[in-house]
Amino acid sequence: MNAARLIHLVAHRGNAAEFPENTLPAFVSALELGVRFLELDVQLSRDGVPVVIHDHLLVRTTGLPGSVFDHDAAELAAMEAAESQRFGDRFAGTRLPLLRDVLALLSRRPEITLFIELKRASLREFGHDQVVSQVLKAVEPWRTQCVIISFDLVAVHRARALSDAPIGWVLETCDDHSRLKFEALQPEFLFASHDQLPARGRLPPGPWRWVIYEVTNLPLARALAGRGADYIETMAVRELSTALRGARAP
């Protein structure tokens, strides 16, 4: 197995092992480690602005009660997102970013690709058309560097219909039924957790590229690449990027 194939690491919520997830320090750290593919989660604020946060409930990342849907974007951008349960006061002052804050990292950096996951809670709260259209509006200046992804197949279809930005479907199951759907959709990317995959065999080939997530060690990454994975998504950005560089060394 040629380790050079594993050059494509995706930083899952940034360097989320070492920094509060989905924050600017996490994304900047991943870029400084040489990763050029970032993944983040988006919810909409009460006034319809895309905010970078995984849960619509605020408590886990900000320690505050309530939901993203209860606040306008300006209020959310003032909130600390330091994940104090994980890090104590180490990252005090780290703010909850809006999507436009992260997109600014792409300026003059054409080598960076951003995978933007539309979360189901916002799709239920605001409807597919509003969520998809608001995110596409935000990414328009960088649409060639952004990939719109979701577990929600309707949202992915809407993104395809409304824009020429690439799309990715995040699979919940890797079975024949899902295969019929993604063969019809023809997305640029397919995402799957490594523990959802069949125990052995090549991943279904097609015009898409496979992104396999929840990967934290080099042996698993190499095995997945041997089965046809194109990208490995991880929170363990420093560990895996260092391991991959070592594997490529003469």
The whole-number pLDDT of residue 246 equals 80
Q: What is the pLDDT along the chain (250 residues), one digit of tens a residue?
A: 444 454 699 999 999 999 999 999 999 999 999 999 999 999 999 999 999 999 999 999 999 999 999 999 999 999 999 999 999 999 999 999 999 999 999 999 999 999 999 999 999 999 999 999 999 999 999 999 999 999 999 999 999 999 999 999 999 999 999 999 999 999 999 999 999 999 889 999 999 999 999 999 999 999 999 999 999 999 999 999 999 888 776 6
10 phi-psi bin (left φ>0, alpha ψ -120 to 50, beta other): beta
The H helix count followed by the E strand count for the chain is: 11, 9
pLDDT score for 193: 97
Q: List active site positions.
A: 12, 54
Question: Which of 242, 235, 191 shows the shortest CA–CA distance to 15?
Answer: 235
Residue 2: what pLDDT? 45
Rounded to a whole number, what is the distance in angstroms from the first to the last CA of the chain? 15
Q: If you compute the radius of gyration of the chain from its CA atoms, what whole number of angstroms results?
A: 18
Per-residue pLDDT at 249: 63
Tell me the pLDDT tens digit for each residue of 122-137.
999 999 999 999 999 9
Q: Considering the entire predicted model, what is its pTM?
A: 0.96
- Interior angle at CA 150, CA 154 and CA 195, nearest 5: 120
- Which residues have C-beta within 8 Å of that of residue 145, sequence separation ≥ 6? 106, 110, 112, 113, 114
Summarised one tens digit per residue, pLDDT across range 140-171 is: 999 999 999 999 999 999 999 999 999 999 99
Question: Which CATH architecture group holds 3-248?
Answer: Alpha-Beta Barrel (3.20)
Q: What residue type is assigned to position 189 of the chain?
A: F
Q: Is 167 exposed, middle or buried (0-12, 13-18, 19+ CB in 10 A)?
A: buried
